Amino acid sequence: MTVDGRPAPDAGLRRVVRANVLTVAFEVLVPMALFYGLRAAGVSQWWALMAGVLVAAPYVVWTVVRNRRIDLVALVTLSVLVLSVVLGLLSDDPRTLAIREGWTAALGGLFGLWMLVTVVVGRPAQLTLGRTIAEIKRGAEGAAAWAARWDTDARFRRGLRIDTAAWGAVLLANAVVHVVLVHTLPIDLIALVTTVVWFAALAGLIAWHVWYLRKEGLEA
């Protein structure tokens, strides 16, 4: 807290990071741990996969109730959960139920494709996303000052285009790899391998992103 009682500039950012960590824990790590725990206990692939779906549902519903709105992340997650339940009811084939992994990746790929389009059409996606982060960290005035650099700083424009292109390319490539893995791996390996591949790609991308923003002076 600041002296006058207002939150420190990075307090909002810490809340966002904390919320994302909880989302990953309850929507990715807990279902995966439950799946492999149940498989080790001799539970069938279908029921182990369905248990992972059902255990994630209460957290998603809780976030919607808490925020009193359905944001983009919650909408995507709810659509994946609904798809999983519908597929589970229509078929007892575990691989059909595992298709939800490919659906999630496909949505990420579409987002990556959109980012690539914004590099050449209009303003890059990272300008919009960066302004949101800047507002959390610096407030409305600080965010406006950061975004105003787009109109006067050629290096700023070039840097945001390169950063946006990198994010878009990685997200799109990950979607392609993810869908291929879902349809070719043994079912018991899908959750582990796709999660490891995604987090490895994301960690590398974030490390490069942080380094590049500092190198080019683009921090929001």
Residue 77: its pLDDT value, please?
62
pLDDT above 70 for 97: no
Dist CA 34 CA 52 (whole Å): 6
What would the two tokens of residue 6 be? Answer: 């207002």
Spell out the residues 6+ positions from residue 212 whose beta carbon is closer than 8 angstroms to its own: 159, 162, 163, 166, 218
pLDDT above 70 for 98: no
Residue holding tokens 């380094």? 211
Residue 140: its pLDDT value, please?
84
Residue range 92-115: mean pLDDT, rounded: 74
Give percent above pLDDT 70 in the chain.
Answer: 70
pLDDT above 70 for 11: no
Point out the least confidently predicted range of 83-92, 119-128, 159-168.
83-92
Spell out the residues 6+ positions from residue 9 whose beta carbon is closer than 8 angstroms to its own: 137, 138, 139
What would the two tokens of residue 177 be? Answer: 């790899």
* The CA-based dihedral angle spanning residues 115, 117, 119, 124, taken in that order and rounded to the nearest 10 degrees: -50
What would the two tokens of residue 133 be? Answer: 């982060």
Per-range mean pLDDT, top range of 6-10, 21-25, 55-59: 55-59
Dist CA 169 CA 109 (whole Å): 9
